[in-house]
Amino acid sequence: MALFRYSGRNSLGALINGELDADSENAVANHLLGHQITPLTITPAPATSSTDWRKIIRDNFKRRGTQLIDIIFFSRQMYSLLHAGVPILDALHGLRDSTPNPSLAKVIGDICASLDAGSDLSSALRQHPDVFPALYVNIIEIGETSGTLAESFLRLVGYLEQELDTRSRIRAATRYPKLVLGVIAAAIFVINLLVIPAFAKLFNHFHAQLPLPTRILMAVSNFTVAYWYLLIFGGVTFFFAVRHYVNTVQGHLWWDRTKLRLPVIGSILYRAALGRFAEALAICMKSGVPWDKSMLVVSQSMDNDYLSAKLRTMREGVERGEAIALTAAATGLFPPLVVQMIQVGEHTGLIDQQLIEVAHYYQREVDYQLKQLSSNIEPLLLVVVGAMVLVLALGIFMPMWGLASAALHH
């Protein structure tokens, strides 16, 4: 594997720059073409120097550029200003001077410069694909051409706020189990490093015959005490190795597929992603974006490469003349009820309304699962805690009881 830098243009003509780990330049080109990006240049990235590493570490501790909440704030303010009759340039200048995020202020300044040079708003937004995804830009473009730009910003506000709410609720629901598992891991490390050695001295003092579980615990503890630095180094190395693999094309696809299969949380991520897909597609169609273009930009805006690839097959099937409901069923992503709702929308010509119903269906499913998440995770946490207590009981307390019984008989 080597790191390559590339530049290319997507199906909308926007310039895309980035870096990718791959075996060869041909592998990078194939990956870009698979994501509807026409490669322009592909060159090996220069070796990272120590100065670059210091910059990377500093950047990791800095606040990451533009967040979703910043885009929501920008969209809502643009709707309010445009709806009040403020010219676009005046609205952008005001937002540039008032936004608290310097990264977003710089982006808005670049947009103002592009508009001053004669560009339209959608073209100016397209120059910042890391801030404004293709879905966002296409809806703004339709709003410009149809004279409903303020309404386009309002539609985007509703969509982005729903996405932010779902993300926040998932993070909040998983915070407790993450904390519990972290505390358990720290407790196991402390027990191996400090507690078990103290009991081992006591057992050695009495020259007691120890059972197998105790001997295993003492061996693990001795290894931890002697090589704790290797364990920490190995853990950190493993973390960064996995992180590096996930950043590759194959690794990212594997992780996106694995996330959807995780116990308890996987089904929530799956339903939330499909709900966002249905809502985004409905917004595109309501805004007047053609079906094939809507499918393309929505599939590209998905934050899961596995689902994105599946949804691209839907677009290809429709382009071949197949029914939308038939291609949706062929992906295997949607349950029969959702496929039936899409089929009704096709027959009645109200596919956008049915997609909104599909989005609401998945939102209700996600709401219900999030409410049940704590009760579903608690049994798993109890099993983990119970297993740890059982190991300690077999390995530590049973020999102690044996020593106490022997002392009483003497």
183 and 271 together in one domain? yes
User: Where is average pLDDT lowest: 52-61, 173-182, 198-207, 254-263?
Assistant: 52-61
DSSP state letters, 203-240:
HHHHT----HHHHHHHHHHHHHHHSHHHHHHHHHHHHH
- Is the confidence at residue 231, as pLDDT, over 80? yes
Where a domain ends, among 43, 61, 79? 61
Distance CA 310, CA 92 (A): 38
What's the pLDDT at 51?
43
249 and 103 together in one domain? no
Biggest CA pair distance of the chain: 98
Distance CA 252, CA 245 (A): 7
138 and 197 together in one domain? no
Residue pair 268/363 in contact by the 8 Å Cβ criterion = no
Residues 150-164 have a mean pLDDT of: 86
206 and 316 together in one domain? yes
Return the closest-CA partner of residue 73 out of 10, 140, 161, 5. 161
Q: 33 versus 99: which is more confidently predicted?
A: 99
- Is the confidence at residue 49, as pLDDT, over 50? no
SS3 of residue 10 by DSSP: strand
Contacts of residue 319, Cβ cutoff 8 Å, sequence gap at least 6: 292
Distance CA 134, CA 79 (A): 19
The parent domain of residue 153 ranges over 68-161
What's the pLDDT at 233?
92
Reported as a pLDDT band with limits 50, 70 and 90, residue 57 is very low
Residue pair 284/139 in contact by the 8 Å Cβ criterion = yes
**167-214: pLDDT as tens digits:** 888 788 778 778 877 888 888 888 878 877 877 777 777 666 777 777
What's the pLDDT at 405?
59
Any idea what the CATH number is for the domain that residue 245 is in? Answer: 1.20.81.30
Reported as a pLDDT band with limits 50, 70 and 90, residue 368 is confident
214 and 275 together in one domain? yes
Q: 213 versus 62: which is more confidently predicted?
A: 213
What's the pLDDT at 55?
47
213 and 259 together in one domain? yes
CA 403, distance to chain mean position in Å, is: 53
Distance CA 244, CA 252 (A): 10
Residue pair 159/280 in contact by the 8 Å Cβ criterion = yes
Residues 53-81 have a mean pLDDT of: 69
Where a domain ends, among 161, 180, 203? 161
Reported as a pLDDT band with limits 50, 70 and 90, residue 50 is very low
- Virtual CA dihedral for 354, 360, 363, 364, nearest 10 degrees? -120
Which amino acid is present at 332? G
Reported as a pLDDT band with limits 50, 70 and 90, residue 5 is confident
Residue pair 45/39 in contact by the 8 Å Cβ criterion = no
Which residues face 3 on adjacent strands? 21
- Is the confidence at residue 390, as pLDDT, over 60? yes
398 and 334 together in one domain? yes
Distance CA 327, CA 318 (A): 7
**8-34: pLDDT as tens digits:** 776 656 667 777 767 677 777 777 776
Any idea what the CATH number is for the domain that residue 24 is in? Answer: 3.10.20
**278-287: pLDDT as tens digits:** 888 888 888 7
Q: Using CA of residue 133, residue 239, residue 258, residue 367, what is the dihedral sign?
A: negative
82 and 157 together in one domain? yes
Total structural domains within the chain: 3
Where a domain ends, among 161, 187, 208? 161
Which residues face 16 on adjacent strands? 8
What's the pLDDT at 238?
92
394 and 251 together in one domain? yes
What's the pLDDT at 377?
76
How would you list the strands of the sheet with 15-22, edge to edge? Answer: 15-22, 2-10, 37-44
79 and 210 together in one domain? no
Mean of the per-residue pLDDT values of the chain: 80
Contacts of residue 62, Cβ cutoff 8 Å, sequence gap at least 6: none
User: Where is average pLDDT lowest: 91-105, 107-121, 289-303?
Assistant: 289-303
135 and 191 together in one domain? no
Residues 23-52 have a mean pLDDT of: 69
Reported as a pLDDT band with limits 50, 70 and 90, residue 62 is very low
What's the pLDDT at 58?
46
260 and 406 together in one domain? yes
Count other C-beta atoms under 10 Å from residue 216's C-beta: 14
Provide the residue count of the chain: 410
- Is the confidence at residue 217, as pLDDT, over 70? yes
Is residue 284 classed exposed, middle or buried when 0-12, 13-18 and 19+ CB atoms within 10 A define those classes?
Answer: buried
Residue pair 16/37 in contact by the 8 Å Cβ criterion = yes
**122-145: pLDDT as tens digits:** 888 888 888 888 778 888 888 887
Q: For 15-130, where are the alpha helices, taking DSSP H only?
A: 25-34, 50-61, 68-83, 88-98, 102-116, 121-126
**344-360: pLDDT as tens digits:** 888 887 888 888 888 88
- Highest-scoring range by mean pLDDT, 28-37, 43-52, 332-341: 332-341
